[in-house]
Amino acid sequence: MALGALIGAYQEDDSGGIRALLPLSGRTLLEYQVRCASAAGAAPIVVVVERVPQALQDAIERLRLDGLTVFPVSDVQEAVSRFEAGSMILLIGDGVAPPAELVAELAEETEPAVAVVPDDEAHEAFERIDAEARWAGVALLDARLLGSTAAILGDWDLQSTLLRRTLQEGALRVRVAEGAGEPLLVDNAGQLEDFQQRLIAGSRGRRTDWASRYVLPPIEELATTQLLETGARPRWLIWAALALTLGGALAFTRGWLGIGLGLLLVSTPLDLVAARLAALRLRPLPARMPSRLALRPAAGLALLALGWWEMQHVGWGAMLAAVVAIAFAEAQRIERGTVQVPGNHWLFSRRNAIFAAIPFAITGAWTPYLVAMFIYASVSFYYTQHVRHLSTG
């Protein structure tokens, strides 16, 4: 069954602007709401407005540039015309910042449903349903109901009228679990600060190597927070990481070993930051993104380039160590597959190998570094192989 979304963007905040334009995660609350709906599979997404100030037009344009189908409408009949007959509609309340998980949960329902929170002091800002519950700001309704409501709306508020009629028709009530996962109804920017911090904290992914677990978190956190306020796109960061890695390989071939290592070090947090920005914008990076997959081979090329340079000045053993290290690293990746290896973060990886070069670079011991990487990669492979055989034996 087709799924669309209807979002209100007309109620004023405490400063006289509109709630939908309050800042959140470097964008606006409306953009967050639209991305939540889109991530749940809703299209088209209709935004009900009374007027379209430039800031709102800019927000809608940014969403369209990201490939999201968004239509601002000021006439209810036009809103009705945007949805297919028989489709379901996600209703997201004006000024509501819902957890993406809640929107996705409602979208999976096969019948009309209304998310509710308790009728208590902590939720007094939400619209009351009865003596026990208030509306949590998200509902799923039949497009037929929107059409019939438009015919009788008059001067009534659209979202409140839709809510009442949906409940009168016996919609399922979905109780929202109390705690950090609750939606937020806001009237000013300050109310969104804690919600934004929760989103930023929730964007942290798994850390699969010791470099990203113990060295990079402060840098990653700072970069993520700063880039949220910009128009930086996650894929730009991935391409930047790839370019820096290839630049490091080129620098090694010229003998600019310190510069090469510096470029590689700068590249290490960029894919992590890109993944977090994508998660915060509810557009996760594809698992098989070519530029992201190319980071590992590019790092192998840099190691090969370092081995080639050292071979010119020390001997063929340096090149052999680099080649064998790369071979063991690839064998480890293949051997591991999807098996969870205990202590995996201590094993050989792109980031671990780059940061492990720092003490060797300080003393100029580049060939010993290559030998150390050969030992590191081989031990990591044999350990992974041992664990895999135990798990399948």
The domain made up of 3-194 is a member of CATH 3.90.550.10 = yes
Sequence-separated (6 or more) residues with CB below 8 Å from residue 284: 275, 278
Q: What are the structural domain ranges in the chain?
A: 3-194, 203-392
Find, among 195, 200, 302, the residue nearest to 244 by Cα: 302
Which residue numbers in the chain have pLDDT < 70?
A: 1, 154-155, 179-180, 391-393
pLDDT score of 153: 73
DSSP label at residue 239: H
Distance between CA 104 and CA 266 in Å, rounded? Answer: 36
3-state secondary structure 197-225: HHHHHHCCCCCCCHHHHHHCHHHHHHHHH
Identify each DSSP E strand in 145-301 by its residue range.
Answer: 172-175, 184-185
Distance between CA 92 and CA 184 in Å, rounded? Answer: 12
User: How wide is the angle at C-alpha 195 spanned by C-alphas 189 and 197, nearest 5°?
Assistant: 105
pLDDT score of 306: 97
Q: Are 112 and 165 in contact (CB under 8 A)?
A: no
**Number of neighbours of residue 390 by Cβ within 10 angstroms:** 9
Sequence-separated (6 or more) residues with CB below 8 Å from residue 308: 252, 253, 319, 322
Model's pTM, two decimal places? 0.83
Sequence-separated (6 or more) residues with CB below 8 Å from residue 335: 381, 384, 385, 388
Q: How many CA atoms lie within 13 A of 48 on its CB side?
A: 23
Structure-token pair, residue 365: 């011991």
Distance between CA 123 and CA 117 in Å, rounded? Answer: 7
Residue 67 burial (10 A CB sphere; 0-12, 13-18, 19+): exposed
Q: Do domains 3-194 and 203-392 have the same CATH topology?
A: no
- Residues 325-343: pLDDT tens digits? 999 999 999 988 777 888 8
The domain made up of 203-392 is a member of CATH 1.10.10.10 = no
DSSP label at residue 18: B
pLDDT score of 285: 87
- Residues 87-102: pLDDT tens digits? 999 999 999 999 999 9
CA 182 to chain centre: 19
